[in-house]
């Protein structure tokens, strides 16, 4: 997944991060299977505030020294943190059964599988001594925020790895070609997560991914929602990576850590992953062709965009550290992702209407109020009362965003390869 696509949220269902403990803004979520899987970037659920929700893994204890590094078993969970996902695998098997679903274009999936097998980035993720030297130069608040960036990105990528790996395993008999693609995508995500975790070693840290796999809670999304969320997550990840790469290429003085130099090829992985989900969606026209599909499409777009915006504005120091204006960067990514998404989703948001960003900025202010309340020493019941106006305000802004006149779009027979349109 897109790495950072740690961007997801929304009301959720419980997407990239822990909405669970602190009731999310939505009601979808419901079940949760005991098994693992899910995803990045991006998806989250409209997180409200900087909730203090700690996932259960936190109780297991934190860092234990190992080989001179801090082995981290917890990450700071908030409503906006990347989540792990799981889904209804039985329904997935029915959706990808070629005897039941005559819309599955096997030739298209064969072609996609060949592209994944080519493994263009097999030798791309090779580190060099520049990493450690650059990390040593990062000091003070920027150092801490880089660590957080690496941790969140690693978690988001790993989330994609878990979900895709399980889908690859579960679909093997029903649809071997689709299953193989999922497995190859999990290879990519494992590579991305591993590369980010190696980056953490430059800061004498490492995430204990095995522990996270077992201890972290999984958010359940039914297959339809997994498709919307992962498609958006991959595409927004693509736009984030490529935008950062292009910016740093033009402004090399901000190239303070070499991982960004890898983003150009890296984002092509995310783009391919998104194209695969685009093909999957086309094979499930029932998820694209009615009024409910339009409502869900808008809902997921909003969830992802709001989550990313709130997350990133809270981390302005990181974006400013690499020479970006956080809000401009986010709006660029949102607009580009929305244009890409409009090629497949039946409806998207009118993000290019200036009112859209105005409302996002109102959400930022309200979210900050919630964060500020959380940091006071007032008793919990008082804090709960103090939060009410801000929460109501956020609900009202989110509803207003959702109800803005949408953009009808989509096509079930658009360009064979979205990549042709992206570049
Ligand atoms: Fe990835
Ligand atoms: Fe991906």
DSSP string, 5-61: -----BS-SS-SS--SSS--S-S------SS-----TT--B---TT-----GGGGG-
The least confident of 40-44, 176-180, 234-238, 241-245 is 40-44
CA–centroid distance, 156 to ligand 1, in Å, is 8
CA 329, 288, 43, 273 dihedral sign is negative
Rounded to whole angstroms, the Cα distance separating 166 from 238 reads 23
Task: Check: CB of residue 417 under 8 Å from CB of residue 273.
Answer: no
Across the range 10-27, mean pLDDT stands at 30
> What is the b/e burial string over 3-35, where b = at least 16 CB atoms within 10 angstroms of the residue's CB?
bbbbbbbbbbbbbbbbbbeeebbbebbeeeeee
**What pLDDT score was predicted for residue 212?**
85
CA–centroid distance, 207 to ligand 1, in Å, is 17
**What pLDDT score was predicted for residue 82?**
75
| Residue 117 phi, psi dihedral angles, 5° rounding | -65, -30
Nearest alpha-carbon partner for 298 in 185, 201, 405 = 405
- Cα 307 from chain centroid (whole Å): 9
Of the ligands numbered here, which is closest to the C-alpha atom of 235? 2
Strand stretches in 202-345, DSSP E: 205-207, 218-220
**What pLDDT score was predicted for residue 201?**
95
CA–centroid distance, 164 to ligand 2, in Å, is 9
CA–centroid distance, 373 to ligand 1, in Å, is 35
CA–centroid distance, 231 to ligand 1, in Å, is 12
pLDDT at 158 over 80: yes
Helix orientation angle between 140-170 and 223-250, rounded to the nearest 10 degrees: 140
* Range with the largest mean pLDDT of 31-40, 206-215, 348-357: 348-357
| Residue 71 phi, psi dihedral angles, 5° rounding | -90, 105
CA–centroid distance, 326 to ligand 2, in Å, is 23
Across the range 248-265, mean pLDDT stands at 96
**What pLDDT score was predicted for residue 268?**
96
Of the ligands numbered here, which is closest to the C-alpha atom of 270? 2
Distances, alpha carbon 405 to alpha carbons 214, 222, 297, 338, 402, in Å: 43, 27, 14, 15, 8
CA angle, 171 as apex, 169 and 176 as ends, to 5°?
Answer: 100
Q: Which residue has the tokens 């400013």?
A: 320
Residues of the chain above pLDDT 70, percent: 78
- Cα 263 from chain centroid (whole Å): 16
**What pLDDT score was predicted for residue 410?**
78
- What value does the mean pLDDT of the chain take? 82
CA–centroid distance, 208 to ligand 1, in Å, is 18
| Token pair in block for residue 311 | 């997350």
pLDDT at 224 over 90: yes
Task: Check: CB of residue 307 under 8 Å from CB of residue 238.
Answer: no
Q: Which residue has the tokens 């981390």?
A: 315
CA–centroid distance, 188 to ligand 1, in Å, is 6
Of the ligands numbered here, which is closest to the C-alpha atom of 193? 1
Of the ligands numbered here, which is closest to the C-alpha atom of 276? 2
Nearest alpha-carbon partner for 17 in 85, 87, 72 = 85
In this structure, which residues have their CB less than 5 angstroms from ion ligand 2?
1, 234, 270, 273
pLDDT at 19 over 90: no
pLDDT at 383 over 90: yes
Across the range 18-31, mean pLDDT stands at 26
Distances, alpha carbon 132 to alpha carbons 129, 198, 200, in Å: 6, 10, 10
pLDDT at 302 over 90: yes
Helix orientation angle between 176-201 and 130-137, rounded to the nearest 10 degrees: 50
pLDDT at 412 over 70: no
Tell me which of 386 and 28 has the higher pLDDT. Answer: 386
Rounded to whole angstroms, the Cα distance separating 51 from 104 reads 42
CA–centroid distance, 378 to ligand 2, in Å, is 42
**What pLDDT score was predicted for residue 316?**
94
Q: What is the pTM of this model?
A: 0.82
Beta strand 347-348 with 205-207 is unpaired
CA–centroid distance, 19 to ligand 2, in Å, is 22
Rounded to whole angstroms, the Cα distance separating 55 from 46 reads 17
CA–centroid distance, 31 to ligand 2, in Å, is 25
Beta pairing partners, 206: 71
pLDDT digits (tens, 9 = 90+) for 185-222: 999 999 999 999 999 999 999 999 988 888 888 999 99
CA–centroid distance, 274 to ligand 2, in Å, is 7
pLDDT band at 245 (very low <50, low <70, confident <90, very high): very high
CA–centroid distance, 391 to ligand 2, in Å, is 33
Task: Check: CB of residue 362 under 8 Å from CB of residue 392.
Answer: no
pLDDT digits (tens, 9 = 90+) for 60-75: 223 334 445 667 666 5
pLDDT at 421 over 80: no
Q: Provide the 10 A C-beta neighbour count for residue 382.
A: 11
Strand stretches in 77-173, DSSP E: 84-86
Across the range 96-113, mean pLDDT stands at 91
pLDDT at 262 over 50: yes
Across the range 76-97, mean pLDDT stands at 83
**What pLDDT score was predicted for residue 214?**
86
Distances, alpha carbon 10 to alpha carbons 15, 19, 147, 180, 401, in Å: 7, 10, 25, 30, 12
Q: Which residue has the tokens 């997935």?
A: 92
CA–centroid distance, 168 to ligand 2, in Å, is 14
Phi-psi region for residue 354, left (φ > 0), alpha (ψ -120 to 50) or beta?
alpha
pLDDT at 8 over 70: no
Of the ligands numbered here, which is closest to the C-alpha atom of 163? 2
**What pLDDT score was predicted for residue 73?**
62
Of the ligands numbered here, which is closest to the C-alpha atom of 181? 2
CA–centroid distance, 268 to ligand 2, in Å, is 9
**What pLDDT score was predicted for residue 75?**
59
3-state secondary structure of 184: helix
The least confident of 102-106, 127-131, 409-413 is 409-413
Query: Dihedral, CA atoms, 299, 303, 309, 310, nearest 10 degrees?
Result: 130
């Amino acid at each position: 997944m897109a790495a950072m696509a740690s961007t997801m949220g929304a009301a959720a269902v419980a997407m990239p991060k822990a909405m669970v403990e602190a009731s999310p803004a939505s009601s979808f979520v419901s079940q949760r299977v005991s098994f693992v899987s899910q995803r990045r970037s991006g998806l989250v659920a409209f997180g409200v505030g900087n909730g203090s929700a700690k996932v259960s893994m936190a109780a297991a204890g934190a860092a234990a020294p190992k080989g001179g590094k801090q082995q981290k078993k917890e990450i700071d969970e908030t409503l906006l943190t990347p989540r792990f996902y799981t889904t209804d695998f039985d329904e997935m098997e029915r959706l990808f059964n070629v005897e039941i679903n005559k819309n599955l274009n096997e030739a298209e999936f064969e072609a996609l599988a060949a592209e994944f097998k080519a493994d263009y980035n097999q030798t791309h993720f090779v580190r060099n001594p520049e990493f450690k030297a650059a990390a040593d130069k990062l000091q003070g608040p920027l150092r801490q925020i880089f660590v957080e960036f690496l941790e969140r990105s690693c978690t988001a990528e790993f989330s994609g790895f878990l979900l895709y790996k399980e889908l690859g395993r579960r679909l093997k008999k029903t649809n071997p070609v689709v299953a193989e693609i999922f497995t190859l995508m999990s290879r990519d995500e494992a590579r991305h997560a591993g590369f980010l975790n190696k980056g953490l070693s430059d800061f004498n840290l490492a995430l204990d991914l095995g522990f996270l796999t077992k201890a972290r809670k999984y958010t359940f999304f039914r297959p339809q929602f997994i498709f919307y969320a992962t498609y958006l997550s991959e595409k927004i990840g693509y736009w984030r990576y490529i935008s950062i790469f292009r910016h740093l290429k033009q402004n090399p003085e901000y190239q303070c850590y070499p991982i960004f130099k890898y983003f150009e090829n890296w984002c092509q992985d995310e783009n391919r992953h998104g194209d695969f989900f685009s093909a999957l969606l086309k094979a499930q026209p029932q998820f694209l062709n009615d009024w409910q599909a339009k409502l869900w499409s808008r809902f997921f777009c909003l969830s992802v965009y709001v989550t990313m915006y709130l997350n990133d504005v809270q981390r302005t120091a990181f974006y400013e550290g690499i020479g970006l204006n956080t809000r401009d960067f986010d709006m660029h990514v949102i607009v580009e992702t929305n244009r890409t998404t409009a090629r497949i989703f039946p409806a998207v948001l009118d993000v290019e209407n200036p009112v859209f960003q105005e409302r996002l900025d109102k959400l930022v202010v309200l979210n900050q109020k919630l964060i500020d309340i959380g940091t006071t020493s007032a008793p919990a019941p008082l804090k709960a009362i103090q939060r009410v106006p801000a929460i109501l305000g956020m609900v009202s802004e989110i509803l207003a965003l959702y109800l803005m006149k949408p953009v009808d779009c989509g096509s079930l027979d658009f360009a064979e390869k979205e990549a042709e349109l992206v570049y």
